[in-house]
């Protein structure tokens, strides 16, 4: 099997995870049960997922030197993810995210202070043009500076590298790049923000995104699975129904695994099935990056369920 080569341009955050019996209402104070510092950030989570799923990963990111970045580096060292392209900048703080996780439903609420992620510059990306150019896929989210995202897209396009965009969290930069993206992977909420006015009907939103110039749309729809519309037709891939503990990073797990399988030469549907199984398993464990399963664990699960 061909080894996938994925470049992720994206964010790193240290997640301050607060476990609560239920998410507080507006103005309500609740007692939590525990707190952890976890490695997070959508870019980092996706890079870790792709690496654990079997890809060679280049992760281009920026962190501060305030100590908050250590949680991430400890994980990268433990799992063997190369850190050569994680830029340390003393003048900025590492990104952080405050995450409340509901013990009953495993749902979460997240506030991100992006810090260093917004200092990732076009020049930082230009200096790494050869790394992007030699990748099978460039995987992007919208949690770093606008200029870093636009430059990465420009370089990938110049070299004919496939671009997968996870438009999370939603930002209007998506409208600048959607026509250059090969595959866009919003969740339901993001689909509605990119193509509003369909009353939550993500099939119609996907048709609108095709009208905006993107050729392949995958909408991840939680327990309903993932919906594809584009060059390969239209279909739904179900999730594997496992009991979730913490859904933080579920979309990141999906994106990292999906790109890995696609770059290995799997079909769109096969790559989505792998991603779906990967993501289903990730939510059975606490944390974001630290919950990403290995390839072997996912293949074992797929033997019994797909």
**Binding residues vs ligand RIB (CB under 6 A):** 11, 13, 15, 40-42, 45, 97, 110, 112, 143, 248-249, 251-252, 288
Nearest distance, CB of residue 14 and ligand RIB, angstroms: 8
Element (H, E) at 237: strand 233-237
Go through the chain and tell me how many residues it has.
306
CB of 144 to ligand RIB, least distance (A): 11
- Give the phi and the psi of residue 101 in degrees, each rounded to 5: -115, 125
Active site residue 241: no
- Residue with nearest beta carbon to ligand RIB: 40
Nearer to ligand RIB, 136 or 143 (CB): 143
Grouping H, G, I as helix, E, B as strand and the rest as coil, residue 184 is: strand
- Cα-flanking dihedrals φ and ψ of residue 191, to 5°? -60, -40
Identity of the residue, 6 or 68, whose beta carbon is nearer to ligand RIB in the bound complex = 68
Q: Which is nearer to ligand RIB, 5 or 42 (CB)?
A: 42
Closest CA to 223 of 199, 235, 240, 206: 240
Choose between 188 and 300: whose C-beta lies nearer to ligand RIB.
188
CB 251 within 8 A of CB 167: no
Other CB atoms within 10 Å distance of the CB of residue 28: 8
Cα distances (angstroms) measured from residue 218 to each of 9, 133, 258, 285? 20, 24, 11, 24
Q: How far is the CB of 234 from ligand RIB (least distance, A)?
A: 27
Q: Are 116 and 63 in contact (CB under 8 A)?
A: yes
CB 59 within 8 A of CB 47: yes
Active site residues: 252
């Amino acid at each position: 099997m061909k080894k996938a080569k994925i470049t992720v341009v994206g964010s790193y955050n240290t997640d301050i995870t607060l476990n609560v019996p239920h998410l507080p209402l507006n103005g309500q104070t609740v007692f939590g049960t525990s707190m952890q510092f976890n490695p997070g950030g959508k870019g980092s989570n996706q890079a870790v997922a792709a690496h654990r799923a079997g890809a060679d990963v280049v992760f281009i990111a920026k962190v501060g030197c305030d100590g908050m970045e250590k949680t991430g580096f400890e994980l990268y060292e433990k799992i063997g993810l190369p850190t050569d392209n994680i830029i340390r900048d003393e003048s900025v703080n590492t990104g952080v995210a405050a995450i409340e996780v509901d013990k009953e439903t495993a749902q979460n609420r997240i506030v991100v202070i992006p810090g260093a992620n917004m200092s990732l510059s076009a020049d930082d990306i230009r200096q790494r043009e050869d790394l992007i150019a030699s990748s099978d896929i460039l995987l992007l989210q919208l949690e770093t500076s606008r200029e870093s995202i636009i430059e990465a897209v420009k370089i990938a396009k110049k070299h004919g590298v496939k671009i997968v965009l996870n438009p999370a969290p939603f930002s209007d930069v998506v409208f600048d790049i959607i026509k250059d993206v090969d595959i866009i992977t919003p969740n339901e909420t993001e689909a509605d923000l990119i193509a509003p006015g369909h009353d939550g009907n993500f099939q119609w939103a996907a048709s609108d995104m095709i009208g905006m110039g993107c050729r392949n749309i995958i909408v991840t729809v939680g327990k309903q699975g993932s919906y594809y519309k584009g060059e390969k037709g239209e279909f739904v891939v179900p999730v594997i129904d496992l009991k979730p503990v913490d859904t933080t990073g579920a979309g990141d797990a999906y994106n990292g695994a999906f790109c890995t399988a696609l770059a290995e030469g799997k079909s769109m549907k096969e790559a989505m099935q792998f991603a779906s199984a990967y993501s289903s398993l990730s939510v059975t464990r606490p944390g974001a990056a630290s919950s990403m399963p290995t390839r072997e664990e996912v293949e074992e699960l797929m033997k019994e369920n797909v």
